[in-house]
Structure 1
């Protein structure tokens, strides 16, 4: 993966926030991201499909839900970039993380 590919795939707010949230949490379900981003399921799923197409994410179906995590073949430098961006931009993700935390007990049921 080239830096150009990575940054093109992340050059949209929903995709970037999704990737950063997944990087912080390790794994998230579509319903988690719906709550965190305050977006509809089709919109979240469309962005996640784009991230899968870019080979940034992999998914796993568990029952009726699909869970996403960073692709295991993502280069170390790309994982580090995402980690650094997530850790040093708390204000960018604060609202999403608050909604995610409050929704964790009620989503995906």
Structure 2
């Protein structure tokens, strides 16, 4: 299939992923040189993410799953100089637990 002149070339956004020292926050760092903040589309679900960002004829893309349960509504995102930094708090595994009565 021939590519039209208007199609963007898809490129993987380089990703570095790590936990903080307290194992309470997941850090995702995406490298996307030349992208403007207004051209970034980031979506999070409880178990995964999708990233799309456009720069001229290039579209940076990335999808992935989280290693552990996360608190997506408390996510912090900052973009500067081609680097998108996400801080995603990990969910307390006991937060929604149910105490069982023992008879």
Normalising to structure 2: TM-score of the pair? 0.25
Pick the structure with more strand per residue.
2
Q: Tell which structure's C-alpha radius of gyration is larger.
A: 2
Higher RCO (CA 8 Å, separation ≥ 6 residues): 1
